[in-house]
Amino acid sequence: MLTALTNDILKTIPTIDQFEKLGAWGLYCSVDIHNCDPDIIRDAEMIRQYAIQLCDLIEMKRFGETQVVNFGEDERVAGFSMVQLIETSMISGHFANLTNTAYIDIFSCKYYDPEIAAQFSLSYFKGSDYTLNVALRK
């Protein structure tokens, strides 16, 4: 149960009823996926397909094509970055080659279930575990 609303990360994931009752403008989540399959996070087409499948799963309408770019001179941050505009905001991600970690951010003014997005992301990138943070935007 959602007990208090502050600007802090939420302790629980709000339901759609709570989202609507609280008059939230949007829902944000960040998913850090550890020990991803290096072949997947180093493949632009796999990352592009991930964005498409995630949008379908959480029922977000994509706006334009998924942008996937490989860059980073510093080995610590080098890897692909992805941006997918959606009708209700944006999904982005960065894939760190050095640590085989995926950092996914989803923001939408339309409700979605962050846990479903996190579980799908973990499975897709074949990670060992994830950290999920959720915040409401007002």
pLDDT in the model for residue 9: 52
pLDDT in the model for residue 6: 41
Map out the domains of the chain as residue ranges.
Answer: 26-137
Contact (CB, 8 A) for 105 and 39: no
Residue 78: closest CA among 60, 100, 63, 59: 100
pLDDT in the model for residue 72: 83
Which pLDDT tens digit goes with each residue over 88-117?
A: 999 999 999 999 999 999 999 999 999 999
Mean pLDDT computed over 5-19 = 71
For residue 94, the surrounding DSSP H or E stretch is: strand 89-96
Q: How far apart are CA 138 and CA 68, in angstroms?
A: 30
Which pLDDT tens digit goes with each residue over 32-87?
A: 999 999 999 999 999 999 999 999 999 999 999 999 999 988 888 899 999 999 99
Which CATH fold would you assign to the domain 26-137?
S-adenosylmethionine decarboxylase (3.60.90)
108 or 11, higher pLDDT: 108
pLDDT in the model for residue 74: 87
Mean pLDDT computed over 117-124 = 98
pLDDT in the model for residue 3: 38
7 or 50, higher pLDDT: 50
